[in-house]
Amino acid sequence: MRLVKGNNFISLKDYDRDDILSVMQGISSYDDQNLKRFIPNNKKKLIANLFYEPSTRTSSSFYAAATYLGHEILSINNVQYSSVAKGESLEDTIRTLASYVHCIILRHSEEGAAYSAVQVSDVPIINAGDGIGEHPTQTLLDLYTIYKEFKRLDRLTVALMGDLKYGRTIHSLIQVLDLFDVHIHLIGPHELKLPLQYYKKEYIESTMLTENIAMSIDVLYITRVQKERGAVGNYAFTREDAMKLDNKCIVMHPLPRNEELGDWFDSDPRARYFEQMSNGLAVRKYLLGEILG
């Protein structure tokens, strides 16, 4: 199983189709059970949840996953106020923690931080997002939401809508979808176009969700304008857009959301963003299960 090769989980970059599909099945086996059930564990571990950047959603989801699996968690948030403020390098912090715990879940603001951590750690590192780098567990839960709905990742048409420039989840998702037979539509304002480096295949581009696109897609994936990363631009999923969409098209969003996706759509049977978020628990339980045994 390549996922836990070397016991770290850092990137999806060298995963192939078969890897991804077998991960999907693995997550599915966790998802088939009650996600909030405590699983007896006579080999419990101590896991550090080391978050340099705040992220309630991701840290809470890892915390819950580890807890239900019977592990203990040492939460370290707001690292900016601690020894790091005394100039400590990430490497020394990782070395320190690695001598206290059995596994480190790392969220960091700098691309490549997770790789750096692996170099000096005696215990497994899980990448919970490193700046504009990757956020591989988010990508897995996005993929799993699609897989759970359609029982496949091939023969699908997916529209990615919104901030295609700064949206890390988009960049990550698109690379994995490219492994499969997926038609991709890119929809968004000119100012927020996908950076050139992510154009690996031919994508169909437009500035709005036309009726033609709306009728043809299986998934509409909307993202937030990453204002905190400097994005400027406006777009929103409207009631007219919703009416154009096919009945079987699901609507996803990585959350948090702002004005681009109103809560008027929440009760629509095609809305999948809350389920998507809740799939994060299955993904993280699977991952910790694979890595910690």
Place of tokens 């601690």: 82
Site membership for a copy of itself, residue 102 (CB under 8 A): yes
> Contact region for a copy of itself (CB under 8 A) — 15-23, 132-140, 205-213, 274-282?
274-282
> Contact region for a copy of itself (CB under 8 A) — 15-23, 49-57, 184-192, 212-220?
49-57
Restricting to residues 228-247, name those near a copy of itself by CB under 8 A.
228
Which residues are within 8 A (CB) of 137 and not within 5 positions of it... i.e. 6 or more apart? 9, 58, 126, 127, 128, 280, 283, 284, 287
Site membership for a copy of itself, residue 44 (CB under 8 A): yes
Restricting to residues 58-97, name those near a copy of itself by CB under 8 A.
60-61, 63-64, 67-68, 72, 74-79, 81-89, 91-93, 95-97
Site membership for a copy of itself, residue 191 (CB under 8 A): no
Site membership for a copy of itself, residue 115 (CB under 8 A): no
Site membership for a copy of itself, residue 274 (CB under 8 A): yes
Rounded to whole angstroms, the Cα distance separating 177 from 191 reads 24
Rounded to whole angstroms, the Cα distance separating 32 from 110 reads 35
Residues in a beta bridge with 9: 126
Q: Between the CA atoms of 76, 81, 84 and 90, what dihedral angle is there, to the nearest 10 degrees?
A: 40
Structure tokens at 48: 């550090």
Residue 87 CB, nearest approach to a copy of itself (Å): 5
Do the bridges between strand 182-187 and strand 156-161 make them parallel or antiparallel, or are there none, so unpaired?
A: parallel
Site membership for a copy of itself, residue 101 (CB under 8 A): yes
Residues in the chain, overall count: 293
23, HSE (Cβ side, Cα atoms, 13 Å):
28
Site membership for a copy of itself, residue 132 (CB under 8 A): no
Residue 155 CB, nearest approach to a copy of itself (Å): 30
> Contact region for a copy of itself (CB under 8 A) — 2-10, 55-63, 140-148, 203-211?
55-63
- Give the residue among 289, 18, 20, 14 at the shortest CA–CA distance from 146: 20
Q: In the complex, which residues of this chain contact a copy of itself (CB under 8 A)?
A: 36, 38, 44, 46, 48, 54-57, 60-61, 63-64, 67-68, 72, 74-79, 81-89, 91-93, 95-97, 99-102, 224, 228, 255-258, 263, 274, 277-278, 281
